[in-house]
Amino acid sequence: MSEKGTDRLDRYARQMRYAPVGEEGQRRLLASRALVCGCGALGSVLAGTLARAGVGKLRIVDRDFLELNNLQRQILFDEADVAGALPKAIAAAEKLRQINSTIEIEPIVADVDPGNILSLCNGCDVILDGTDNFETRFLINEAAIKLQIPWVYGGSIGAEGQTLTILPGQPPCFRCVMNEPPPPGTSPTCDTAGILGPIVNVIASIQACEAIKILSGHHEAVSRLLTVIDLWDNQVRQLNLDRLRSSAGCPTCASGRESADKFPWLTGQRGSRSAVLCGRNSVQLSQPTGEKPVDALSLDVLADKLSAVGQVTRNRYLVRASVGDYTITLFPDGRAIVGGTSEIAEARSVYAKYVGV
């Protein structure tokens, strides 16, 4: 039998054989921590790839639970996870521990918001974007710049996807490139445009490789281009961002510049607390009661109350009620996800009607 330490490296033999990684790079990976923000389609590939690559600590945060139509593209999950109504972060952690039991997996069921993002990023060496919305990406961008942590943006819709790596102190940042989130309702979503599984795997694989470069100590190998790929139209484009390199017009990443507009998403000046969930015909209401997180007892009380009007499912992580055309899912952190509508106002009225305020 070999030493335990050697066993730990043996599983990465083929990766270490790749010269730029080597044993030194592998040891760096094992000593590093990555934050995967969102564990749906992109996040499944990100977390799975980084767990197999031996990133020593993976913190996985996701706000949602599994539904059957996720399985088409969210490759970490299976039908048993859907039947168990498990939060994605929890189901992902269980799978990842089967894939690699020697690393540390830290699942967190929460919405990434201005109140928790700095603590979520704390101690991380890279942040991976597995989210489905621009608000969270602008928030990640500001937290990453404030904490000087590299992050890798990724997004996909239809058969097209794009990715960009943002390095602290090396403009452009996400805001330099995107300027503003698209106005609500103007950009295609998974609901309107659909999504093909393969583009997710391509984009997330590029993101994961960028993370491996960063974590193994190879910032010089990181891409400085915005990469856009359309798998249906067979197009790969790489946009040179040199003209944005100065960051002169960007309040967020310009060094030494302190303006009230530096971190508008982080300070809560920008951003809403409720969101239409991409591809889900669902709306998330953040702590709709305006109260602090509910305890297990009050979730039980709510489960009893809802069982009078509909069919209720209860597990360790959530309470879910099917009432008429709607499903209402309540989390211990005070959030609710109302399924059966994409209208925030309708979701609020459903919540008020059945759960109360």
Binding site for Zn ion (CB under 5 A): 173, 175-176, 247, 250, 252-253
Give the relative orientation of helices 88-99 and 41-53 as an angle to the nearest 10 degrees.
30
User: In this complex, which beta carbon is closest to Zn ion, that of residue 262 or of residue 305?
Assistant: 262
**Measured from the CB of residue 251, what is the shortest distance to Zn ion in angstroms?**
8
User: In this complex, which beta carbon is closest to Zn ion, that of residue 163 or of residue 247?
Assistant: 247
**Measured from the CB of residue 249, what is the shortest distance to Zn ion in angstroms?**
8
Residue 180 tokens read as 């503003």
**Measured from the CB of residue 78, what is the shortest distance to Zn ion in angstroms?**
40
Task: Look at residues 150, 176, 195 and name the one whose alpha carbon lies nearest to residue 252.
Answer: 176
**Measured from the CB of residue 174, what is the shortest distance to Zn ion in angstroms?**
7
Q: Which position has the token pair 């608000």? A: 135
User: In this complex, which beta carbon is closest to Zn ion, that of residue 251 or of residue 271?
Assistant: 251
**Measured from the CB of residue 138, what is the shortest distance to Zn ion in angstroms?**
11
Exposed/middle/buried for 179, CB within 10 Å: 0-12, 13-18, 19+?
exposed
Task: Look at residues 176, 143, 167, 150 and name the one whose alpha carbon lies nearest to residue 247.
Answer: 176
**Measured from the CB of residue 89, what is the shortest distance to Zn ion in angstroms?**
30
User: In this complex, which beta carbon is closest to Zn ion, that of residue 50 or of residue 164?
Assistant: 164
Element (H, E) at 227: strand 225-230
CB contact at 8 A, 216 and 20: yes
User: In this complex, which beta carbon is closest to Zn ion, that of residue 93 or of residue 152?
Assistant: 152
Give bridge partners of residue 58 from the DSSP assignment: 34, 105
CB contact at 8 A, 63 and 111: yes
User: In this complex, which beta carbon is closest to Zn ion, that of residue 175 or of residue 314?
Assistant: 175
**Measured from the CB of residue 166, what is the shortest distance to Zn ion in angstroms?**
8
Helices (H) then strands (E): counts for the chain: 13, 14
Write out 265-301 in H/E/C secondary structure. CCCCCCCCCEEEECCCCEEEECCCCCCCCCCHHHHHH
User: In this complex, which beta carbon is closest to Zn ion, that of residue 245 or of residue 353?
Assistant: 245
Q: In angstroms, rounded to a whole number, what is the distance separating the alpha carbons of residues 274 and 195?
A: 23
